């Protein structure tokens, strides 16, 4: 929940030229609902994709405050984040609701950034893999692999300045890829799994050196054009 319409426009005016020469990285930007249409206009001549931060699973009707997949597409979106930890834990979204959202988004052709991750208490009690298995199997039930990007974000590392060690991140990513192989077969090897959780220009190198980390879901470091551009321009 950051940036007004004018702040979003100013951000894009600074950020897009800074990454215009980058051709080997897929960039997705997810501003608030209120800024989507203005961002879409700014991004018309950019290779970056516009995403929303959430979507509702119904087409239309008496669902005050909700936004449908068709509305997102109308505002210029090509993708949507679903199941972010803040939606799961602050707004109490269940795996069932998240699955409905994934299905609705994919039915309209929106690319889905599907978020999973464990709480600190779950990691400390040895339940990380159980949590990830439940979230993956329930959240992606009945979904094809096309248009799915998975983002692993340990909840204890989001906005805290704490980051999973590269080894911890790799262990979780490798486990998730095994789960995806059970769902999607060989396609799981090419399905992208992103790491989210206090990713910065300073730690991106160590994280991206791990074989199963295919990119980053960037939080705080994406709020400033210069730090986000540094991450986009990172080379292995």
Q: What are the tens digits of pLDDT across the range 93-143?
A: 999 999 999 999 999 999 999 999 999 899 989 999 999 999 999 999 999
> Of 78, 84, 118, 173, which one is the catalytic site residue?
84
User: With contact defined as beta carbons under 8 Å apart, do 63 and 30 qualify?
Assistant: no
pLDDT digit string (tens) for 18-59? 999 999 999 999 999 999 999 999 999 999 999 999 999 999
> What topology does CATH give the domain 5-232?
TIM Barrel (3.20.20)
Residue partners of 42: CB distance under 8 A and separation at least 6: 8, 9, 12, 13, 16
pLDDT range class, residue 236, cuts 50, 70, 90: confident
- From the candidates 118, 122, 153, 173, which is the catalytic residue? 153
153 is a catalytic site residue: yes
Q: Name 168's bridge partners.
A: none
Q: Where are the alpha helices (DSSP H) in 19-114?
A: 36-42, 69-74, 85-89, 95-107
Helix residue spans in the chain (DSSP H): 5-18, 36-42, 69-74, 85-89, 95-107, 120-124, 128-139, 166-184, 204-208, 225-232
> What b-and-e string marks burial along 132-157, b requiring 16 or more CB atoms within 10 Å of the CB?
bbebbeebbeebeeeebbbbbbbbbb
Tally the residues of the chain.
Answer: 236
Band the pLDDT of 159: cuts 50, 70, 90: confident
Q: Is 124 a catalytic residue?
A: no
């Amino acid at each position: 929940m950051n940036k007004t319409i004018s702040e979003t426009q100013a951000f894009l005016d600074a950020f897009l030229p800074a990454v215009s020469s980058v051709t080997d990285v897929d960039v997705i930007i997810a501003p608030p609902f209120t800024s989507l249409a203005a961002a879409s206009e700014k991004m018309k001549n950019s290779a970056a994709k516009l995403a929303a931060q959430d979507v509702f699973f119904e087409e239309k009707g008496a669902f005050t405050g909700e936004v449908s997949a068709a509305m997102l597409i109308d505002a210029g979106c090509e993708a949507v984040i679903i199941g972010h930890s803040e939606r799961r834990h602050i707004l109490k979204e269940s795996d069932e609701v998240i699955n409905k959202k994934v299905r609705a988004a994919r039915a309209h052709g929106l690319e889905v950034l599907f978020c999973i991750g464990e709480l600190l208490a779950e990691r400390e009690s040895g339940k990380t893999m159980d949590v990830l298995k439940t979230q993956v199997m329930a959240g992606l039930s009945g979904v094809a692999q096309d248009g799915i990007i998975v983002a692993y974000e340990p909840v204890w590392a989001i906005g805290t300045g704490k980051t999973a060690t590269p080894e911890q991140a790799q262990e979780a990513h490798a486990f998730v890829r095994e789960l995806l192989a059970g769902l999607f077969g060989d396609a799981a090897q090419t399905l992208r799994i992103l790491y989210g959780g206090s990713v910065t220009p300073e730690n991106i190198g160590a994280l991206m050196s791990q074989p199963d980390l295919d990119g980053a879901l960037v939080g705080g470091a994406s709020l400033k054009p210069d730090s986000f551009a540094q991450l986009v321009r990172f080379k292995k």
